[in-house]
């Protein structure tokens, strides 16, 4: 497969000189030692030079990696085109969302065949009124390699739109204010903007900004449109905390929220008096969070001050401190209260039961304690694994609750729930063209026992006829390829949703599994805590246990196992490959957080200090030792060099969450270790950020590329 002739790159011209395919070799990265001595231990890092994004040598090296990947993947171009065509055939290219009401208007988005981005539309709610365009993102994207919308907020009078855009992928957003009746942007602007909210006067805008170096949202400003003044109203000095603006659903109060990974606090301001001072609701207490809404002169507060699974309390607006909190709801010990949606005449509590969301509707008659003591109406969902959540509910005085539902086999749907009758009405189910029939597919929910007897939920989906007809061969082993996705960090519950792009795998016989491992949020904060800090190893062992059990139970072939994860899920990929490389045959690792020690020792990088509460602080000796024990980059020497699986590692030059050099260094170092002939590929998107391409067609091509790699490496026919 390989020959001595490498791909050459010219650092001065930044061009690639690629030899014939039969002679291709991966680029060889220079090794320039840059050791770090800490806690009596030397961290060796031969590739720290890759951190210089402006260096011609670095850029040339990255281009060389892309050229090598393109050369290896060249024979799959027809397959990529076939997969792209299949994916596109299952997407209704010209479509629109369900309109939702908001202050006398109806708002929705539209996509048009051939256009990369959505168009935001509205009309007066009165029947027969003409449609107008708020924002056409395709127009914003003209002449740009990348375009992403951040915040969007329409003024209460409907005349102004505040919105933010990022044209690099670095998640650095610029504020714009558009006059909607005239259709042009005002000169008012600001840089590095996060959240935005309008005051009741429709002239005063409140917004937050991020620090230039660490990208921490640390300051809040007030701006009156038509003026040049941007007045700072708050600064957060604690490096663990980010700030953001929110608003009560009744629009009477603006909230300034400060939060770390484990602690939060809120201040409030009457929306009608935007020049007044913010009032603190309750001072922050370490490891306690609370989240606020308002109804009838009471703040409703979801908090974990007394239970990890959160409870709901109320407090008078005049005296909102903890001494006046009165409990109105506390769930069962194993059922976390994940969210609440408050309206004038009812409240919807989102809980998680056995890892799946439930929506419980409580009518409000005027006495919160008694109201939440009543038996609620619970919205029922029919499938064993699904996602359900509140949808666009902008109106406070509402008679219906809008929610969304989808599953591994059911496309996304939007419903209106009638609070008075308890009936749900389907408003729209996403159309999936191309011959899709949900009855052709089946989903399952399994519970797999870990070594310490903890039960891990797993969601599965497969094509019925391909699984049951091919499950067991003459030798008693499944012939299906098995694909397992994992994340397991930040208390994030892995969504169990529909994906039209996943059909390309299911229709080729894949069993697709989502492992809800510890470190995620499926079973509440306790599940998160069991897979973070000095319990992080549970995340990795859970994932390995899930795969071993699925194989043992006939859900896949041992020689056809593929795994995928991104960001913190890329850390998962690196850790489990180091531990059990022989278990996997193809690995997709997106923007992987693999250089744990060097990143977490650099407080100048985005996220680092705030994430001491997720991973630990390596400046502390005990944290250092534990983190070092699993950091993928630091432990590559422990891997069996003969069993390294085929790997496609992907990153973006403008990623602000996991810097491009982490995967680049990881691949360069792994190349010096591996001794087998499986492909090790690095692909860098030179015009994108953490989420990859911004255009929907470009994003589909990226997925087709990934799936072509999987099919080829697992020997699955196209």
DSSP letter string over 172-201? --EEEEEETTTTEEEEEEEESEEEEEE-TT
Indicate left, alpha or beta for 137 from its phi (over 0: left) and psi (-120 to 50: alpha): alpha
Burial of 112 (0-12, 13-18, 19+ CB in 10 A): middle
Contact 538, 501 (CB under 8 A): no
What rounded mean pLDDT belongs to the chain? 94
Residue range 101-129: average pLDDT?
A: 95
| pLDDT of residue 125 exceeding 80 | yes
Helices (H), ranges, 609-678: 612-615, 621-630, 661-671
Q: What is the mean pLDDT of residues 113-123?
A: 97
Q: What is the pLDDT of residue 508?
A: 97
Confidence (pLDDT) at 634: 97
Q: How far apart are CA 80 and CA 129, in angstroms?
A: 45
| Average of per-residue pLDDT across 184-208 | 98
Catalogue the active-site residues: 567, 655, 690
Overall average pLDDT of the 515-520 stretch? 98
Which residues, in sequence order, are bridge partners of residue 294? 299
Residues 344-388 have pLDDT tens digits of 999 999 999 999 999 999 999 988 988 998 899 999 899 999 999
Q: What is the pLDDT of residue 106?
A: 97
Does the pLDDT at position 606 exceed 50? Answer: yes
Residue 1: pLDDT above 70?
A: no
CA distance 98 to 285: 41
Question: Does pLDDT of 161 surpass 90?
Answer: yes
Percent of the chain exceeding pLDDT 90 equals 92
Residue 477 confidence (pLDDT): 74
pLDDT confidence of residue 475: 55
pLDDT at 708 over 90: yes
Domains of the chain listed by start with CATH number: 1-89+592-718 (3.40.50.1820), 289-431 (2.130.10.120), 436-558 (3.40.50.1820)
Strands (E), 183-318: 184-191, 193-198, 204-210, 217-224, 230-235, 242-247, 253-259, 264-270, 279-280, 290-295, 298-303, 311-316
pTM for this entry: 0.94
pLDDT tens digits, residue range 525-536?
999 999 999 999
Q: Quick check: 498 pLDDT over 70?
A: yes
Query: Does residue 342 carry a pLDDT above 80?
Result: yes
**Across 269-276, average pLDDT:** 98
CB of 301 closer than 8 Å to CB of 314: yes
Give Cβ neighbours of residue 13 (< 8 Å, ≥ 6 apart): none
Instruction: pLDDT band for 96, please (50, 70, 90 cuts).
Output: very high
């Amino acid at each position: 497969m390989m020959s001595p002739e490498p791909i050459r790159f010219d650092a001065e011209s930044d061009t690639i000189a690629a030899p014939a395919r039969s002679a291709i070799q991966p680029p060889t990265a220079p090794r320039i030692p840059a050791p770090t001595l800490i806690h009596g231990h030397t961290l060796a890092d031969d590739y720290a030079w890759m951190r210089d994004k402006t260096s011609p040598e670095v850029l040339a090296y990255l281009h060389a990696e892309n050229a090598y990947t393109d050369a290896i993947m060249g024979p799959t171009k027809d397959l990529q085109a076939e997969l792209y065509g299949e994916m596109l055939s299952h997407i209704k290219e010209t479509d629109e969302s369900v309109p939702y009401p908001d202050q006398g208007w109806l708002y929705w988005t539209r996509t048009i065949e051939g256009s990369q981005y959505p168009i935001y539309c509205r009309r007066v709610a009165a029947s027969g009124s003409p449609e107008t365009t708020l924002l056409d993102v395709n127009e914003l994207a003209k002449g740009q390699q990348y375009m992403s919308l951040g915040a969007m907020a329409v003024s209460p009078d409907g005349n102004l739109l505040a919105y933010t855009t990022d044209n690099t992928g670095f998640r650095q957003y610029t504020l714009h204010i558009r006059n909607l009746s005239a259709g042009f942007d005002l000169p008012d602007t600001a840089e590095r903007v996060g959240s935005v909210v309008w005051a009741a006067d429709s002239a005063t805008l409140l917004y937050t900004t991020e620090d230039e170096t660490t990208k921490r949202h640390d300051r809040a400003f007030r701006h009156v449109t038509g003026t040049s003044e941007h007045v700072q109203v708050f600064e957060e000095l604690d490096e663990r905390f980010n700030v953001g603006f929110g608003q009560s659903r009744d629009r009477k109060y603006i909230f300034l929220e400060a939060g770390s990974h484990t602690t939060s606090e809120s201040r409030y301001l009457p929306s009608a008096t935007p020049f007044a001072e913010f009032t603190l609701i309750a001072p922050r207490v370490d490891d306690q969070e609370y989240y606020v809404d308002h109804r009838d002169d009471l703040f409703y507060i979801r908090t974990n001050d007394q239970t990890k699974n959160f409870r709901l309390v109320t407090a008078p607006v005049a005296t909102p401190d903890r001494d006046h909190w009165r409990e109105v709801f506390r769930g069962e010990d194993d059922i976390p209260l994940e969210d609440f949606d408050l309206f004038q005449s009812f409240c919807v509590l989102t809980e998680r039961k056995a890892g799946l969301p439930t929506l419980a509707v409580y009518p409000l008659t005027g006495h919160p304690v008694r109201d939440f003591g009543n038996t609620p109406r619970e919205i029922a969902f029919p499938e064993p694994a699904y996602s359900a959540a509140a949808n666009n509910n902008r109106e406070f005085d509402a008679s219906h609750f809008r929610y969304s539902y989808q599953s591994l086999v059911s496309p996304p749907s939007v419903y209106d729930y009638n609070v008075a009758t308890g009936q749900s009405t389907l408003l729209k189910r996403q159309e999936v063209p191309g011959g899709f029939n949900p009855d052709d597919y089946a989903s399952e929910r399994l519970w797999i026992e870990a070594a310490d007897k903890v039960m891990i939920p797993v969601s599965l989906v497969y094509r019925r006829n391909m699984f049951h007809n091919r499950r067991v061969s003459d030798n008693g082993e499944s012939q299906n390829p098995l694909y397992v996705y994992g994340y397991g960090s930040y208390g994030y519950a892995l969504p169990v949703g529909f994906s039209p792009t996943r059909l390309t795998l299911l229709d080729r016989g894949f069993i697709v599994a989502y492992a809800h491992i510890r470190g995620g949020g499926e079973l509440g904060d306790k599940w998160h805590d069991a897979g973070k800090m000095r319990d992080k190893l549970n995340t990795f062992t859970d994932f390995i246990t899930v795969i071993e059990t699925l194989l043992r139970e006939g859900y896949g072939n041992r020689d056809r196992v593929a795994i995928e994860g991104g960001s913190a899920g890329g850390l998962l990929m690196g850790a489990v490959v180091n531990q059990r490389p022989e278990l996997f045959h193809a690995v997709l690792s997106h923007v992987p957080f693999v250089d744990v020690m060097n990143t977490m020792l650099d407080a100048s990088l985005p996220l680092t200090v705030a994430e001491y509460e997720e991973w630990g602080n390596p400046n502390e000796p005990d944290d250092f030792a534990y983190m070092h024990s699993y950091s993928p980059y630091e432990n590559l020497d422990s891997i069996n060099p003969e069993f390294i699986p085929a790997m496609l590692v992907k990153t973006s030059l403008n990623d602000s969450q996991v810097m491009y050099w982490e995967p680049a260094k990881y691949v360069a170092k792994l190349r010096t270790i591996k001794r087998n002939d499986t492909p090790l590929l690095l692909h860098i998107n030179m015009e994108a950020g953490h989420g990859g391409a911004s255009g929907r067609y470009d994003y589909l091509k990226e997925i087709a590329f990934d799936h072509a790699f999987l099919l080829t490496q697992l020997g699955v026919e196209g």
